[in-house]
Chains A and B, each alone.
Chain A
Amino acid sequence: MPVIEASELTKTYGELHAVDAISFEVTPGESFGLLGPNGAGKSTTMRMIGGTTLRTSGTLLVNGLDPEVRGPEVRANLGVVPQQDNLDVELRARDNLIMYGRYFGLPYSYLRPRADDLLEFAQLTEKSNEKVDNLSGGMKRRLTIARALVNEPRILLLDEPTTGLDPQARHILWDRLFRLKEQGVTLIVTTHFMDEAEQLCDRLIVMDHGRIVAEGSPADLIRRYSTREVLEVRFGSDRNAALVDRLRSFADRIEPLPDRVLLYADDGERTLEAVRKDGLVPLTSLVRRSSLEDVFLRLTGRSLID
C-alpha cells in the first residue's frame, strides 16, 4: 500500500490555483522529491499532507487515512520540517525537543535521552542549554530537523531542509537522511537545489504553477528531457543574443540565457570545436553533464533559482 496517495489534489487561494489537480503516490521507504521554482505549490502540497492546510478538492490519503479527518493519527506518523523555522526561541535547544515531543504524548523518561541523541544528531550537543535565540541560522535549521525526529516518524516531510546550511552541514545532513531511509523511513523532500534532488531522491515530480510537468528518477528525467552533455558559452552579454541564430545549427537544442548560451549536445567538446571552426570564439566555455536544472529549463523555459 502506498504511504501517500494523492488524486486530483487541489488548493486554491481565491483565483489562484496554488496546487492544481495533481496526482501522485509515494511507496514506503521511498525518497520522493518535489522540485520546482518559487510559488510552484510545493509547500502547499506538503502542508496538505500534514493536514495543516485544507485542500479545496481531490483526495489524499496518508497511511490510508485522510489527514483532515484523522489529523492526530496521521501526524503521529509524520516528522515535519517546515520551510520556515518555528522553534520556541525563548526556550533552550534541548527543551525545544522535549516540549515538542510532549505533543506526541511522549513521557519525559523517553524524551530526555531522546533529546540528547537528537542534539548529537544535529551536532548541537554543546549548544543544548543555549537559548534558541542565540543559535545561528544554520544551527536553528538543524535543530528544527532534529525536532521532527523526536517521535520516531515513519515519514519525514522536509520542506527545503538545507536552506541556510553551509556545504559541509548539507553533506552531513544528506548522509544522515540517507541512513534514515536505509532504515525504512520514507522521505518527502522539496527543494530547488538540483544537486540535492539528485543526491536525495529516488523519484521526483517537477512542479510548476501548481501542476506536475514531469515525473521520474533524476537520471530518467535527464535522459528524457536533456542531452548527455551541455556546452556553455559566453560571448559577452551584448553579443550572446545576436549569435543565437548562428549557434543554433551546432546543437540539438539551444537555450539563450542573459549571461550565457547553453548548447545541448551529446558530445560537448566536439560541439565546441565545431563552433570554433566556424570562426566564433567564445570568451569562456564550459562542457558539463546535463542536470535537473536543464530538465527544468526545458520543461518550463525558466531557471530553477531566479
Chain B
Amino acid sequence: MDTNALAYSGRAPDPARQAALVRRWGWWYQAELRLWSMKAYWSSIIGTALLTPLLYVVAMGIGLGSLVDATSGGIDGVPYLVFVAPGLLVSTVVMSATNETSYPVMAGFKWGRQYFARATTAASPAQVAIGELLAVGLRLLGEALVFWLVLVVMGAVEPTWSWLMVPVAALAGMAFGTPLAAYAATLEDEGPEFASIQRFVVMPMFLFAGTFYPLTTMPIYLQWIGWISPMWHGTQLARLFGFGLPLGGWEIVGHLAFLLALVGLGGWLAVRNFGRRLAR
C-alpha cells in the first residue's frame, strides 16, 4: 500500500476547515451516528409501533371500550376508544423515550465508552449531547407517526387535525427523556436506578396520570401525579387534537409550556453533564 498517502493524501480538507465544519455541524454527526446505529433495531422499532396500537385498540377500545360505552355512553362525549387512543399514543412514546435515554446513555459512558471516543474528535461534548437527544427525538417522531397511522386506519382518530398528536407525543417523550438522559450521564455504575425509575415513576405515571380515565375522576390528593407528569400534559394536548377535548387557551399554553420547559431544562442539564463527564 502507499504509505505516503497514509500520512497525507492531499484529499482531506485541511484541519482548520475540518474544525470549522465540526463547530457548525458536530451535533448533526452525532445524531447521524445514533440514527445509523438504530438501524440494527429499526425493524423492531417499527414493529413495536405497529403492534402496540393494534393490541391496545383491541383490548382497550373494543374489549374495555364496549363495556364503558354500554354503561356510561363513553367519556367526555366520545366513545372510549376515541378517548383512550391519544393517551395510549403519548404513553407509548414516553416509554420508548425512557428506553432510549437510560441504558444507551449509560452505555456510552460506561460499557462501550463510545462517548469518550467522540471526545477525541473535533466535536464537543455539548454537540454529542445535543446530537444524541436529537436522534432520540427523531426516532420518537417516527414511532408516533406509525402509531398514529394505525389509529387512523382503525378509525380511532379523525385524520384532519389529529396528526398534531405526532409532534405532541414526541414532545412529551422528550420532556421525560432529556432529564433522564441528563441523569443517566451522571451514573458511574449500573445500579437499581433505571429499574426503580421504571417502577416508581413511569408505571405510576402510566396508571394514574389520566391515560385511561380523566384525571379529575381521581381524588384531588392523587391528581398531582398527573400535574407533574409529562404524560398527562402530552395526553391532554393529544386529546385536543384527537377528538377536540375542550381546553381553554391558557390550558393549552400551560401544557405546552410545561413540556417545553422540561425539554429545555433536561437539554441544558444533559449538555452540562456530558461536558463534565467528557472533560474533567
Contact = CB atoms under 8 A, between A and B. Distances in A.
Nearest to B120: A80
A152 B5 CA distance: 9
Contact of A179 (B3, B30, B32): B3
A75 B120 contact: yes
Contacts of A86: 112-114, 116-117
Interface stretch (B11-19, B66-74, B132-140, B157-165): B11-19
Interface stretch (B20-28, B50-58, B176-184, B255-263): B20-28
B45 to A, nearest CB: 15
A71 B37 CA distance: 26
A58 interface: no
A54 B279 CA distance: 6
Contacts of B22: 72, 76, 103-105
A157 to B, nearest CB: 8
A72 B124 contact: yes
Interface in B66-102: none
A71 to B, nearest CB: 6
A10 to B, nearest CB: 15
Contacts of A8: none
A180 interface: yes
Given A50-B120, A71-B124, A180 B16 contact: no
B29 A102 contact: yes
Interface of A: 50-54, 68, 71-73, 75-78, 80, 82, 84, 86-91, 95, 99-100, 102-106, 110, 114, 117-118, 120-121, 149, 151-152, 154, 176, 179-180, 183-185
B33 A102 contact: yes
A183 B4 contact: yes
A292 to B, nearest CB: 27
Given A80-B120, A103-B29, A180-B6, A51 B18 contact: no
Given A90-B40, A105-B13, A120 B1 contact: yes
B122 A72 contact: yes
Interface residues of B, number: 45
B119 interface: yes
Contact of A89 (B12, B21, B112, B122): B112
Given A73-B16, A91-B37, A184 B7 contact: yes
Contact of B16 (A54, A68, A76, A118): A76
Given A76-B122, A87-B117, A106 B7 contact: no
Contacts of B32: 99, 102
B272 interface: no
Interface string B242-276: 00000000000000000000000000000000000
Contacts of B121: 75, 100, 103-104
Contact of A52 (B4, B18, B37, B119): B119
Nearest to B278: A52
Nearest to A111: B12
Nearest to A70: B19
Interface in B134-182: none
Contacts of A99: 32-33, 36
B129 interface: no
B114 A72 contact: no
A77 B15 contact: yes
A76 B19 contact: yes
B8 interface: yes
B6 A76 contact: no
B181 to A, nearest CB: 19
A185 B6 CA distance: 10
A281 B174 CA distance: 78
Contacts of A110: 11-12
A76 B117 contact: no
